[in-house]
Structure 1
């Protein structure tokens, strides 16, 4: 079951903070830019994440993205339709 729209950014932020203790974290809801998009009809949102964490040091970009997806867990299937990630170590 998905969260109310206004709670999604907070849930994403909470999950990423718990997993990575970032020194910088920006989470933006870009869902309004995709209104009417076929993939957004199910109610899930489009988000942009910029995260800086020592946890990413030595990881490839692909490994960083996989780590972010893992940290978000069920949110990826219940609340997030598309996710733009900029993860730095």
Structure 2
């Protein structure tokens, strides 16, 4: 799932502008049926964020990851304007 998220966001923002960390290990025991690749920290840098509010930037990331969001438990998103 991590690679899938990196590829999808990287295709849109550029691979060098995307960082994805699987932090599922912090939540072991929280989700017993699948304790791996369930929680992610995502960082994205882009000029595309220039005229967008933080809410709009997060909404864009959620829209790009629409299919992946259905399969994971939680994400944390950090966006940086270049």
Whether the 8 Å CA contact 1:22–1:53 is kept in 2: the answer is no
What are the ranges of 5 or more consecutive residues in structure 2 without an aligned counterpart?
Answer: none
| TM-score normalised over the length of structure 1 | 0.79
Question: In 1, distance between residues paired with 2:12 and 2:33?
Answer: 27
Report whether the alignment pairs 1:61 with 2:54: yes
Q: CA RMSD in A?
A: 1.6
Structure 1 runs of 4+ aligned residues shifted over 3 Å read none
Matches within 5 A, 1:4-83: 8-21=1-14, 23-37=16-30, 40-43=31-34, 45-78=38-71, 80-83=72-75
Aligned pairs, number: 79
What are the ranges of 5 or more consecutive residues in structure 1 without an aligned counterpart?
Answer: 1-7
